Amino acid sequence: MTTRRGFTLGLLAFGAGGVSGCIGGGGGGSAFPSRAADPPPRPVPNPGWDAWVAAFRSRAAARGISQATLDAAFRGAGFLPEVIERDRNQTEFRRTLEDYLAIAASDERLALGRQNLARHGALLSEIEARYGVDAHVVAAVWGLESFFGTRRGNIPVISALSTLAYDGRRGAFFEDQLVAALRILENGDVTPDRMTGSWAGAMGHTQFIPTSYLALAVDFRGDGRRDIWSDDPTDALASAANYLSRSGWQRGQPWGVEVRLPAGYAGPSGRGATRSVAEWAAAGIRGWDGPLPDAGPAALLIPQGPSGPGFLVFRNFGVILRYNNAENYAIGVGHLSDRLIGRPPIRGSFPPDAAGMTRADRQELQRLLTRAGYDTGGTDGVIGARTRAAIEAWQRAHGLPVTGEPSRELLARLRQPVSRRGSGRRGAARSPPHPPAAARQRARRRRAPAPRRPNSGRAARPRRPARDRA
């Protein structure tokens, strides 16, 4: 079975819609996919792609794809350079577990997840009864893969897969996915115009790649089609449960549990070092809420070192890894599933990042930049593309070396009153020569006399929160 991680090539670029970028197994999408509202990329003329498609059509016909299906599939298809760009750049940022969980179990995701658990509770209970996979776990996979169906991806799958197969970096793999996508069309489960997904060809609410779809997607209601693309998530959720069930999920058993490590712990850790729960307890590993659950052999994971949170993980953790072979993803699914049913957030403290900054420091940095008129896209403490762009703009305006990198020095400068910030360049102005519009507007308000009206002290409407992602 091809795992979604083996397919998606990178971690936490949060595929089509959720937290993880292009990550996956059952599908191959992303825990953090791109917003469905983004316009799909436009195909551009490419004689090389045209020649490749002409040769591919013969190979596909030899593998049993009809000419009618090939004609329909490629009628509106084309070469998508943006797909190549995303494939090349998907690993630009690798997130820490702290950043990953801040996005995977954000307030926004939890609120939407709990709404969907209530709305689709009866359906999820039916799925749990048939496949033996806990409802809140299926919901968590849905949440990470497509933000509960709100970010399923809108890129034409035939165009995306043919572009990647033609490009050749993983040509054989993507050609196999393309043939599988054509078989789906030939079976009548979906039409070419509705077969959309992530840039890497992951599809639907739970971001299945075509080969995983053919092997494991289900028609839960028996209507003759396995429809993972429509607004109705029934077949997609049942398909994800079938995937986990076939991978060995044990109903009612934990994926893992957050633990406390003894001071100075230097013992074994990692997925390869399994012990009984009794042995871990004898080594000083303790639960946060009483005795450790005994769910069989367990491994100790400490993703950010002994000073950060630790987790004992059990067999079901390995099952999640079959869906996406990335530890951060599996912890993210497990933690989100716990939060959806009211369990607490992470209790352990994360260590400072490589710049010596805590999450609280990074959140303050984002708030100060936003207050100065440089939009960071949110204040969640996750340093993504918009925060880096804001840092670059602020550094440029203040005559400093433009790095786009957060630092304690930068935070200290932002904390200073404007008149004391100075410049990193001799002879440069002490304040931006061309401050952003928001900053200029605030400056005019400070110079103007206060209007005499009853509501002059009313607080400004707060900014609408937005997600900051890479």
Backbone phi, psi, residue 259, to 5°: -130, 165
Report the alpha-carbon distance of residue 353 to residue 346 in Å, rounded.
17
CATH of the domain at 169: 1.10.8.350
Report the alpha-carbon distance of residue 179 to residue 176 in Å, rounded.
5
What does the chain come to in residues?
470
Whether residues 368 and 240 share a domain: the answer is no
Report the alpha-carbon distance of residue 17 to residue 21 in Å, rounded.
8
Q: Is residue 76 part of a domain?
A: yes
Handedness of CA 243, 248, 249, 254 (dihedral sign): negative
Q: Is residue 326 part of a domain?
A: no
pLDDT of residue 466: 37
Q: Is residue 341 part of a domain?
A: no
Of 211, 246, 281, the residue that ends a domain is 246
Query: What does the mean pLDDT of the chain come to?
Result: 86
SS3 311: strand
Whether residues 76 and 203 share a domain: the answer is yes
Of 246, 274, 308, the residue that ends a domain is 246
Q: What is the pLDDT of residues 408-420, one digit of tens each?
A: 999 999 999 876 6
pLDDT of residue 423: 52
The catalytic residue positions are 145
Q: Is residue 295 part of a domain?
A: no
Q: DSSP state, 458?
A: P
Q: Is residue 320 part of a domain?
A: no
Q: Is residue 343 part of a domain?
A: no
Instruction: Determine the distance from the C-alpha atom of residue 407 to the mean position of all C-alpha atoms in its chain, rounded to a whole number.
Output: 25
Report the alpha-carbon distance of residue 367 to residue 378 in Å, rounded.
8
Q: Is residue 428 part of a domain?
A: yes
Of 218, 246, 274, the residue that ends a domain is 246
Whether residues 50 and 178 share a domain: the answer is yes
Q: Is residue 153 part of a domain?
A: yes
Q: Per-residue pLDDT for 82 more than 60?
A: yes
- The arithmetic mean of pLDDT across residues 160-185, rounded, is 97
Instruction: Classify residue 450 by burial, with Cβ atoms within 10 Å: 0-12, 13-18, 19+.
Output: exposed
**Number of domain units in the chain:** 2
Which structural domain range is residue 138 located in?
A: 4-95+123-246
pLDDT of residue 37: 58
Q: What DSSP letter does each residue of 191-229 carry, written as one string? A: -TTT-EE-TTS-BTTTTB-HHHHHHH---TT-SS----S
Backbone phi, psi, residue 98, to 5°: -60, -45
pLDDT of residue 21: 37
